[in-house]
Structure 1
Amino acid sequence: MLDKGVTSQKIRFELVNNVIIIPVEINGLPLKFLLDTGVSKPIVFNFLKASDSLKVLHAEKIKLKGLGDGDYIDALRSSHNTFKIGNAVNTDQTFFAIFDPSVNFAPKLGIAIDGIIGYDLFKDFIVEINYSNRFIRLHKPDKYSYKDCKKCETFNLEFNNNKPYVNAEVLTDGHEISVKMLIDTGSSDAIWLFEDAEKNLTLSKNYFYDFLGSGLSGNVYGKRTKIDALKLKRFMLENPKAAFPDSVTIASVKKFKDRDGTLGGEILKRFNSIIDYTNSKLTLKPNHFFNKKFSYNKSGLQVEHDGVRLVMEIDMSNNVATINQNKATSELEVKSVIANAYKYTIKPSYVIYNIIKDSPADLAGLQKGDIIYRINGNGTQDMTLKNLVGHFYQKEGTKIKLLVDRNGKTMKFEFLLQSPIK
């Protein structure tokens, strides 16, 4: 809840790989959480980092099953906790704490993430998400008034297991198909579709097999393609990326039989939105991302943050320059003492965790586990994961040169970017 007399609260967020990261304080401990409409109770999944200082109150052991190809995982259910987001405070919050260190999305995002929060935030507020300026605003439902907006469209939300669904249309292979889609701010992808021959939701021949992402219960694989268009009332997004996940890995989320897929962050970020659980409404307004073309990783490489490494650098701090004036000639004499030494600094390390078969990187000889030191002549130690991966989204035909470490041996590779979808 917000303090008496306060009707809204603005909170800045980080937009990383199409997902929203917000600051959350749990029992006095500041953490970073992914904002995910597809999750019910908050989850702390990078638990080992916070185990010494996070107070887990009134805990009981449970098992959780989420998206992915794995099994149930052990967790603690903790109740009567204090959650604080900006000045919004809940003093009786339940969350799940996961001990398994493999449940950690930070390597894929390139920044430390401590957990996920969703329904328990959205149910208490009308949540305005401004992707353009990277903030959310929490509004008290009884104090919020909708403004006239000619550029907006409003949709009815349906709920199943506390998760929001919206109706849309997809255009593919000459068919316009009505679909019910989960609104999932926690997915970095554009569209997921579940194959259904009766609805003509079938995969075209133009696709490639790919790693689609990670869930609480493991990895998700499937086929990537593109469809002709996605329609959200009058809003038409042309040639969006679409993925058809393997049926085995999504079995746990397909219990809601009316669900046809997911709208993820790469679609949602193209709108500034108002998500109103109280009145079951979603309002969308196109922003400057709306007309941005959908692009593919054209290398076949998927890279993640792999901890840190020590890098030796020149330390210039002891270099000294002196300036003296010659009294006889009035000329300035500059003398410098060069005392370069070396220092070791901690820098991020990036590793290849997946390679698409027969992709440019695969055919060039790169392998899973290779550590990328340099790309096109630039050291990766001073790059973010986003900067590094951005090289793989450049135009087709761009040359990529990589210097990698493979089991202690330095190796060079080069290839040309090639779109996996024509």
Structure 2
Amino acid sequence: MKGKPYIKPKFYFTNTGIKEGEILFDSGASVGLLLYKNFLDTTMIPNKLIAGTIGMGLGGPLEGYLGRIQRMEIDWAVEENVITNFQQIDTFTLKNDQSGKQGILGNSIISKFNVLLDFNNQKLYLKRNRFGKKSARIDRSGLFIIASGVNLNEYTVKDIIRNSAAMEAGILPGDKILRINGFSSKNYNLGTLNAKFSKPGKKKVRLKILRNGMKYNISFLLRDII
């Protein structure tokens, strides 16, 4: 469709049944799986959802929900307990989007496979690579951080997930991160920051932040948010 690859996985929901949906196959998207709530029955939405910012778009932060679905099947390729972003699309966008797509499969899942797209025959070939059996790791701090500055290594807290470790520690939107575990934040990029905040176990994070001209030291233990 307009030169873009679409696939039709089967989605298994814990609450009820199975749904097949047409979604965009987009290796440039940072999410793993994004489903539009507009196309789902309310009974398919997981009971446990976390509201907040799920990414950045051209117009700014994308608001939505984070949860898990029981299973996703792309022919033989099966993913269990899939971390899923849920987003409600506004009426204007829905009306003007001629693709009819019901979501996006992004790089966090696609990167588990070697991919061959045969556009002429409209076929997709997948082969699990060395990352294929690794569980998806997501942020465990609750922080949504944006990068700025000439070298994109100045970090500001854009949003915080409610009831997360970072929120309970007292971090606020607008806080600028100066140091992380004793090291200058300029030593990191967004990728290494996300990796640090996604580590398993009870890892302690120590931040020095700047807020309204004052510096504060704040620490917390990483924990699962979903």
Q: TM-score, normalization: structure 1?
A: 0.49
- How far apart, in 1, do the equivalents of 2:92 and 2:221 lie? 34
1:410 aligns with 2:218: no
Corresponding letter in the other structure for 1:179: G
Corresponding letter in the other structure for 1:215: G
Indicate conservation of the 8 Å contact 2:152/2:189, yes or no: no
Runs of 4 or more above 6 Å deviation: none
Q: Which residue of 2 aligns with 1:237?
A: 79
Secondary structure in 2 matching 1:361: helix
Counterpart of 2:11 (choices 152, 170, 173) is 170
Q: Which residue of 2 aligns with 1:420?
A: 225
Cα distance change of structure 1 residues 406 and 273 upon mapping to structure 2, 3 Å threshold? same
- Residue-by-residue CA offset, 1:299-332 (whole Å, 9 max, x unaligned): 1101222215xxxxxxxxxxxxxxxxxxxxxxxx
Counterpart of 2:193 (choices 384, 388, 396) is 388
- How far apart, in 1, do the equivalents of 2:21 and 2:192 lie? 35
Counterpart of 2:122 (choices 280, 304, 312) is 280
Indicate conservation of the 8 Å contact 1:207/1:420, yes or no: no
- Consecutive unaligned residues in structure 2, runs of 5 or more: none
- Consecutive unaligned residues in structure 1, runs of 5 or more: 1-158, 309-345
Q: Which residue of 1 aligns with 2:137?
A: 295
Percent identical = 29
Q: TM-score, normalization: structure 2?
A: 0.88
- What aligned pairs does 1:176-325 form with structure 2 within 5 A after superposition? 176-195=18-37, 196-198=39-41, 202-248=44-90, 251-252=93-94, 255-256=97-98, 258-307=100-149
- How far apart, in 1, do the equivalents of 2:171 and 2:147 lie? 17
- How far apart, in 2, do the equivalents of 1:220 and 1:201 lie? 23
Q: Which residue of 2 aligns with 1:314?
A: none
- State the number of aligned residues: 224
- How far apart, in 1, do the equivalents of 2:176 and 2:33 lie? 30
Cα distance change of structure 1 residues 259 and 179 upon mapping to structure 2, 3 Å threshold? same
- Residue-by-residue CA offset, 1:34-74 (whole Å, 9 max, x unaligned): xxxxxxxxxxxxxxxxxxxxxxxxxxxxxxxxxxxxxxxxx
Cα distance change of structure 1 residues 267 and 280 upon mapping to structure 2, 3 Å threshold? same
Greater shift, 184-193 or 396-405, is seen at 396-405
Q: Which residue of 2 aligns with 1:115?
A: none
Q: Please give the root-mean-square deviation of Cα atoms over the aligned residues, in Å.
A: 2.4
- Residue-by-residue CA offset, 1:312-367 (whole Å, 9 max, x unaligned): xxxxxxxxxxxxxxxxxxxxxxxxxxxxxxxxxx8932221221122211121111
- How far apart, in 1, do the equivalents of 2:109 and 2:33 lie? 7
- How far apart, in 2, do the equivalents of 1:351 and 1:250 lie? 31
Q: Larger radius of gyration, structure 1 or 2?
A: 1
